């Protein structure tokens, strides 16, 4: 499996989507030719800068929460795993396929029942009780756009490869940012979601449509520290979802919750489209300090990928140059130094 640092190199080079499943990451990285190798090598210092900045930020997060007796040791271990500096995580159960972006010690099961554990999902009951708002708003939107069929669009090219051409989405939130224009199309749903204090994670919120006669092939999203809930909106009889070795269906107005670090797949063998609202949020076993630390890491990665973080020479390399005197320091600052 491609390590996080290699994937980060590819993302910085090609501006690819940050949440590509590992199987696709492997294929994409393997496409690099020998002529591209020098570009990857040139990004090595950028990788070092990223992980140095991660370390600095985690120190700040820990300082803030240490007064409350909270630590982020599991997130420091996550950072080592993500860099490939520790052994790959082990599977917790049949069908579990975690990636290197992994937090140890979190409860792992294919499906969760929010109604059985209300303390872990304090927002879920209110969302279900008000699901008619979401269902009505979606139906009104579908009726208005019945001729154009323009509401749902495929998320990206790689998503077609994973989710299949029958799956499409309309995003309200992604990477912690609400899509203002899209939210205007669903004002009541947006207001409801934002009132519930859901601990939204990096992947966000979207309406998802599974076309009739289509399905999503088995795949794992890898990250075990995010759970996903589907609020059933329009569910034809016969639709199914499998996670790990368990299979369930959706119910309209109810949440179906799964851990997508398990291999999962869906099917819609009916003559009608299936619609759900997908919500990604932090695993309830994470502490508030651990959530803050993960939010920092992924926000920083998004900034690196979008080019919003200026390049600087990694401190580790600067320290190496210090041993070479003034000539080495000036070489590191102005692009000199040893040539390979």
Provide the pLDDT for residue 194.
95
Q: Is 230 helix (H, G, I), strand (E, B) or coil?
A: strand
Rg of the chain over Cα atoms, rounded to whole angstroms, equals: 22
Contacts of 48 (CB under 8 A, 6+ apart): 314, 316, 317
12: Cα within 13 Å, side-chain hemisphere? 27
Provide the pLDDT for residue 248.
96
- What's the rounded Cα separation, in Å, for the pair 319 and 28? 34
Provide the pLDDT for residue 163.
60
Provide the pLDDT for residue 92.
86
- What's the rounded Cα separation, in Å, for the pair 269 and 1? 33
Provide the pLDDT for residue 164.
58
Q: Which residues pair with 267 in a beta bridge?
A: 215, 240
- What's the rounded Cα separation, in Å, for the pair 153 and 167? 9
Q: What are φ and ψ of residue 89, in 5° steps?
A: -65, 150
Q: Of the candidates 250, 245, 256, 246, which has an alpha carbon nearest to the alpha carbon of residue 270?
A: 250
- What's the rounded Cα separation, in Å, for the pair 208 and 266? 12
DSSP 21-74: -HHHHHHHHHT--HHHHHHHHHTHHHHHHHHHHHHHHHHHHHHHHHTTT---HH
Q: What are φ and ψ of residue 193, in 5° steps?
A: -60, -40
Per-residue pLDDT of the chain (340 residues; tens, 9 = 90+): 433 333 333 333 333 333 233 333 433 322 223 333 333 343 478 888 999 999 999 999 999 999 999 999 999 999 999 888 888 898 888 899 999 999 999 999 999 999 999 999 999 999 999 999 999 999 999 988 776 555 665 454 445 555 657 888 999 998 778 999 999 999 999 999 999 999 999 878 999 999 999 999 999 999 999 999 999 999 999 999 999 999 999 999 999 999 999 999 999 999 999 999 999 999 999 999 999 999 999 999 989 988 899 998 888 887 765 555 545 544 544 444 444 4
pTM of the model: 0.79
Contacts of 165 (CB under 8 A, 6+ apart): 154, 214
Provide the pLDDT for residue 85.
87
What is the side-by-side order of every strand in the sheet holding 264-268?
214-219, 264-268, 240-243, 246-248
Cβ proximity of 295 and 283 under 8 Å: no
Q: Of the candidates 214, 212, 235, 233, which has an alpha carbon nearest to the alpha carbon of residue 277?
A: 233
Print burial letters for 326-335: b (CB count within 10 Å at least 16), e (below 16).
eebbeebeee
Q: What is the DSSP letter of 87?
A: P
Print burial letters for 149-179: b (CB count within 10 Å at least 16), e (below 16).
eebbeebeebbebbbbebbbbbbbbbbeebb
């Amino acid at each position: 499996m491609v390590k996080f640092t290699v994937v980060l190199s590819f993302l910085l080079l090609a501006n690819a989507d940050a949440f590509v499943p590992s199987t696709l990451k492997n294929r994409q990285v393997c496409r690099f030719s020998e002529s591209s190798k020098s570009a990857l090598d040139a990004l090595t210092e950028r990788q070092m800068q990223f992980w140095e900045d991660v370390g600095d930020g985690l120190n700040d997060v820990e300082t803030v929460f240490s007064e409350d007796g909270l630590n982020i040791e599991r997130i420091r271990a996550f950072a080592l795993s993500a860099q490939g500096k520790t052994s790959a995580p082990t599977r917790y159960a049949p069908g579990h396929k975690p990636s290197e972006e992994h937090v140890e010690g979190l409860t792992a099961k294919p499906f969760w029942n929010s109604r059985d554990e209300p303390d872990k999902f304090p927002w879920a009951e209110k969302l279900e009780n008000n699901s008619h708002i979401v269902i009505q708003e979606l139906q009104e939107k579908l009726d208005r756009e019945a001729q154009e069929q323009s509401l749902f669009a495929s998320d990206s090219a790689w998503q077609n490869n994973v989710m299949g051409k029958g799956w499409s989405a309309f995003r309200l939130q992604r990477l912690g940012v609400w899509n203002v224009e899209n939210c205007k199309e669903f004002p009541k749903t947006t207001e409801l979601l934002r009132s519930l204090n859901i601990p939204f994670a990096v992947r966000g919120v979207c309406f998802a449509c599974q076309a009739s006669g289509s399905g999503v092939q088995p795949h794992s999203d890898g990250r075990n520290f995010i759970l996903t809930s589907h609020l059933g909106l329009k569910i034809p009889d016969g639709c199914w979802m499998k996670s790990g070795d368990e299979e369930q269906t959706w119910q309209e107005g109810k949440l179906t919750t799964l851990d997508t670090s398990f291999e999962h797949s869906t099917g819609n063998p009916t003559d009608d489209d299936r619609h759900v609202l997908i919500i990604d949020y932090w695993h309830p076993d994470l502490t508030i300090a651990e959530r803050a630390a993960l939010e920092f890491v992924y926000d920083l990665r998004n900034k690196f990928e979008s080019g919003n973080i200026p390049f600087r020479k990694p401190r580790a390399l600067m320290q190496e140059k210090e041993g070479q005197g003034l000539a080495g320091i000036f070489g590191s600052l102005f692009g000199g130094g040893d040539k390979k």
